[in-house]
Amino acid sequence: MEKQIKILIEHLEFRYGNAAFNYTDSKTSTTLEFEIENIELRPEFEVLKPYFVKVSKSKNISVEIFAEFENGAFYLMRQNM
């Protein structure tokens, strides 16, 4: 599976060193968690989501995701912003 998707900024979960989001594959109904690495990110950024929307003038980010499916399980995933 290789797709370009839009994720609402409010659906991002900020963590130490990354932001995570879930994506549900419509073909397999499997929910996958992807992480966008950035060493500057912190959980405290959760409260800044409305600010990020205002400054970027967009409620979404575009992300390219890739996952390989083998023997009933996803075994390789990556994403690019």
pLDDT digits (tens, 9 = 90+) for 16-62: 999 999 999 888 888 889 999 999 999 999 999 999 999 999 999 99
Task: Provide the token pair at 24.
Answer: 């549900």
Global confidence as pTM: 0.84
Residues 6+ apart with CB under 8 A from 29: none
What whole-number distance in Å separates Cα of residue 19 and Cα of residue 2? 20
Task: Provide the token pair at 63.
Answer: 């992300």
Q: 8: domain range?
A: 2-80
What whole-number distance in Å separates Cα of residue 47 and Cα of residue 62? 21
Q: How many domains does the chain have?
A: 1
